[in-house]
């Protein structure tokens, strides 16, 4: 991922300014909007990555698309344009959200299942993830039919794989070794 270290540095700086001005939550909402908008718009993403599109055009497009964002977010756009780093804008926004959640004691967890979780099962998985991390948890359900059944829970650096596909692979490995 190009510019990942730079994106972290920009995100930390923006978070520090936002925390000092007590608008970290508002800027966080801006950053979520930016991340989602760029991820959902192939044209916008390609425009930001394009060396052919002039910086002035990129700036005017971004200010038009993200009209009404906090002044800190607008200043970030200006700074990235000025430093010829606007191509990492989506990464900066994403890293900001990660850093903000860490500062609030929120851990991200993903649970991969073959089918969507029911509300009751989601609450049980959420409780288990909170137990594992000891923090408030934001749970994301990813549906991947290739795991056949069961689930894969990932909380931070810890992964628990209770998928049927994993159990079948383990059996296959066991039989081939004997």
Q: Write out pLDDT tens, residues 66-121.
A: 999 999 999 999 999 999 999 999 999 999 999 999 899 888 889 999 999 899 98
pLDDT at position 176 is: 87
Structure tokens at 103: 């500062």
Whole-number Å distance between alpha carbons of 21 and 160:
40
Whole-number Å distance between alpha carbons of 27 and 172:
50
Q: What is the pTM of this model?
A: 0.74
pLDDT at position 178 is: 65
> What's the CATH fold of domain 4-102?
Peroxidase; domain 1 (1.10.520)
Neighbouring-strand partners of residue 111: 141, 153
pLDDT at position 65 is: 94
Average pLDDT of the chain?
Answer: 91
Q: Write out pLDDT tens, residues 52-73.
A: 999 999 999 999 999 999 999 9
Is the model more confident about 70 or about 132?
70
pLDDT at position 2 is: 56
- Edge-to-edge strands, sheet with 150-155: 136-143, 106-113, 150-155, 158-163
For residue 74, count CB atoms less than 10 angstroms from its CB and return exposed for 0-12, middle for 13-18, buried for 19 or more: middle
Question: Which pairs from 47-51 meet CB under 8 Å and 24+ separation?
Answer: 48/86, 48/87, 48/89, 48/90, 49/87
With a cut of 80, say whether residue 1 has pLDDT above it.
no
Mean pLDDT within 147-168: 88
Residue 110's nearest CA partner among 79, 144, 78 is: 144
Q: Write out pLDDT tens, residues 4-36.
A: 899 999 999 999 999 999 999 999 999 999 999
Domains of the chain by residue range: 4-102, 106-177
Who contacts 144 (Cβ-Cβ below 8 Å, separation ≥6)? 112, 113, 114
pLDDT at position 8 is: 95
């Amino acid at each position: 991922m190009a510019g990942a270290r730079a994106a972290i540095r920009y995100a930390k700086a923006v978070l520090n300014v936002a925390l000092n001005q007590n608008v970290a939550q508002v800027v966080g909402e801006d950053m979520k909007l930016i991340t989602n908008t760029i991820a959902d718009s192939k044209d916008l993403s390609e425009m930001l990555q394009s060396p052919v599109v002039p910086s002035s055009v990129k700036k005017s497009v971004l200010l038009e698309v993200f009209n009404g964002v906090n002044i800190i977010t607008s200043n970030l756009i200006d700074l990235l344009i000025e430093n010829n780093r606007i191509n990492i804008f989506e990464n900066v926004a994403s890293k900001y959200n990660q850093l903000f959640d860490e500062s609030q004691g929120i851990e991200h967890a993903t649970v991969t299942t073959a089918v969507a979780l029911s509300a009751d099962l989601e609450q049980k998985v959420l409780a288990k993830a909170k137990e594992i991390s000891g923090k408030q948890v934001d749970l994301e359900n990813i549906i991947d039919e290739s795991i056949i059944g069961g689930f894969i829970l990932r909380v931070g650096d810890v992964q628990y794989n209770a998928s049927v596909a994993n159990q079948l692979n383990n059996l296959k490995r066991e039989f081939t070794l004997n």
